[in-house]
């Protein structure tokens, strides 16, 4: 699960991680009302108006409706004109940004609608750095990564100047040790107050990643101010969905408007679903088999419309819901049901498919491959249902048949 920048900063601040002063706004009036307090609390006449969407590249992104407006805007009008001038400019910007569509390298050309803005204090930046906490799957531990190349994508840095990436592996029994935080701070070239603040920042960040069960906690850029403060100028957090049960405060931050409707609905039924661009809908049990089904469809010349794993413990209702979600996609020109019943019984799948077709109808070709537990019972249910479906011998055979029919 992902959250917005302003939410990430709330969570960071609550854990002793320094962030700039800011206020979230969903309307133009709220945005304007935020300006005075942000300038006063921040002690700086400059404010920044930042689009809040679940995608990066906002600073370089532009609005489809207003080609000259960026996703992040620095408002300097307050320097000469005071709060009133800053408010006037924010009113203008917020009016253009809210409800408009921001396209960045990560959203693709279609962009994403901006419904929330974050009004933040301007910072006198001396240096821009990078720091993140991610899982290192090889050691099975979190690793703190830091780099002097603030503002750059870490993948870029890793590809071109890997020597600039500093790493410290976090022992889960200790969190980031003092000496490790110091080593990172030395590597980042921090001195004086910035060194002391940086060590504290890094330790708090590593501890927050553990305490909040993040699977990514990224601060890019991490800034050092001219006064020697170290703070998170941006903040990106995503969470281990399996740990959300112990973080109700995080669950409350979920913004469903940022997620795909079909994926959200599938989640309610315990289905793992990912929307793709092709024309062959897939209904499969097991994550590996679901991926392999997509691969096989591609292999025989088709394009999958989705990834869908109904899971091992699915009921008829779950299967029926899965089928309904797939058929709702107008791109779908054919459906491939591919089941290897282990725990999942083939008759459960068959009953679910029959029930769904009765409910929503079947307007596209359907190929079904059943194998495993209760396979004969499943096949009997399908043939007695008199559904207009094609049976397949194995996965490849089924993929060929559905790709042919979905053309």
Active site residues: 130, 218
DSSP state of 189: T
Taking residues 320 to 349 in sequence order and writing x for each that binds other proteins by CB under 8 A, - otherwise, the string is --------------------xxxx------
**Strand, coil or helix: 316:** helix
CB 190 within 8 A of CB 228: no
* Residue 377 touches other proteins, criterion: CB under 8 A: no
> Could you say whether residue 394 binds other proteins (CB under 8 A)?
yes
Is residue 352 involved in binding other proteins (CB under 8 A)? no
According to the binding rule CB under 8 A, does residue 79 interact with other proteins? no
Q: Is 96 exposed, middle or buried (0-12, 13-18, 19+ CB in 10 A)?
A: middle
Nearer of residues 24 and 308 to other proteins, judged by Cβ = 308
Residue from 135, 196, 360, 377 that binds other proteins (CB under 8 A)?
Answer: 135
With contact defined as beta carbons under 8 Å apart, do 184 and 202 qualify?
yes
Does 162 engage in binding with other proteins (CB under 8 A)?
A: no
DSSP 362: -
Site for other proteins in 173-202 (CB under 8 A): 173
Closest by alpha carbon to 22, among 61, 58, 55, 49?
49
Contact between 267 and other proteins (CB under 8 A)? no
167 touches other proteins (CB under 8 A): no
Tokens 């590249």 sit on residue: 57
What strand order describes the sheet that includes 390-391? 272-275, 306-309, 280-284, 334-341, 366-372, 390-391
Our finding on whether 84 is near other proteins (CB under 8 A) is no
How many positions of this chain bind other proteins (CB under 8 A)?
56
What are the residues facing 224 on neighbouring strands? 127, 230
3-state helix, strand, coil in the chain (%, to 5): 40, 25, 35
Per CB under 8 A, 276 contacts other proteins: yes
Per-residue contact string for residues 292-321; x = within reach of other proteins by CB under 8 A: x-xxxxxx----x--x-x--xx--------
Complete DSSP assignment for 104-146: -TTT-TT-EE---EEEEE---EEEEEEEEEEEETTTTEEEEEE
248 binds other proteins (CB under 8 A): no
Shortest Cβ distance from residue 341 to other proteins (Å)? 7
Stretch that binds other proteins, among 75-83, 138-146, 316-324, 352-360 (CB under 8 A): 138-146
CB of 5 to other proteins, least distance (A): 18
CB nearer other proteins, residue 82 or residue 108: 108
Say if residues 150 and 222 touch (Cβ distance below 8 Å). Answer: yes
In the complex, which residues of this chain contact other proteins (CB under 8 A)?
Answer: 135, 137-138, 140-142, 154-155, 158, 171-173, 210, 213, 215, 240-243, 245-246, 272, 274, 276, 284-292, 294-299, 304, 307, 309, 312-313, 340-343, 371-373, 394-397, 399
């Amino acid at each position: 699960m992902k959250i917005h920048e302003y939410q990430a900063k709330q969570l960071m601040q609550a854990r002793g991680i320094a962030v700039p002063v800011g206020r979230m706004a969903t309307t133009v009036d709220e945005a304007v009302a935020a300006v005075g307090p942000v300038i006063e609390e921040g002690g700086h006449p400059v404010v920044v108006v930042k689009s809040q969407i679940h995608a990066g590249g906002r600073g370089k992104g532009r609005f489809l409706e207003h080609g000259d407006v960026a996703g992040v805007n620095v408002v300097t009008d307050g320097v000469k004109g005071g709060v009133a001038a800053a408010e006037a400019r924010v009113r203008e910007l917020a009016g253009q940004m809210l409800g408009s569509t921001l396209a960045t390298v990560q959203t693709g050309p279609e962009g994403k609608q901006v419904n929330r803005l974050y009004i933040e204090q301007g910072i006198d930046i001396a240096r821009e750095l990078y720091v993140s906490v991610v899982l290192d799957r090889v050691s099975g531990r979190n690793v703190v990564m830091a780099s002097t190349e603030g503002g750059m994508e870490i993948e870029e840095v890793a590809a071109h100047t890997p020597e600039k990436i500093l790493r410290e592996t976090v022992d889960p029994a200790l969190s980031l040790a003092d000496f490790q935080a110091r080593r990172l701070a030395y590597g980042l070239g921090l001195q004086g107050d910035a060194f002391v603040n940086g060590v504290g920042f890094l330790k708090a960040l590593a501890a927050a990643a553990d305490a909040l069960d993040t699977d990514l906690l990224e601060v890019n850029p991490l800034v050092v101010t001219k006064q020697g403060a170290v703070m998170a100028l941006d903040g990106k957090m995503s969470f281990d969905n399996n740990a959300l049960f112990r973080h109700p405060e995080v669950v409350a931050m979920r913004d469903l408007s940022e997620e795909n409707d079909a994926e959200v609905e599938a989640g309610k039924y315990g289905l793992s679903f990912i929307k793709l661009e092709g024309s062959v809908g897939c209904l499969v049990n097991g994550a590996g088999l679901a991926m392999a089904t997509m691969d096989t469809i591609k292999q025989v010349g088709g394009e999958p419309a989705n990834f869908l794993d109904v899971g091992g413990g699915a009921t008829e209702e779950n299967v029926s819901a899965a089928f309904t979600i797939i058929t709702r996609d107008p791109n779908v020109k054919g459906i491939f049901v591919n089941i290897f019943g282990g725990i999942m019984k083939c008759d459960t799948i068959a009953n679910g498919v029959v029930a769904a077709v009765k409910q929503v109808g079947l307007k596209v070709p359907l190929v079904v491959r059943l194998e495993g537990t209760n396979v004969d019972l499943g096949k009997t249910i399908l043939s007695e249902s008199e559904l207009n479906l094609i049976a397949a011998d194995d996965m490849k055979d089924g993929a060929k048949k559905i790709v042919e029919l979905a053309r």
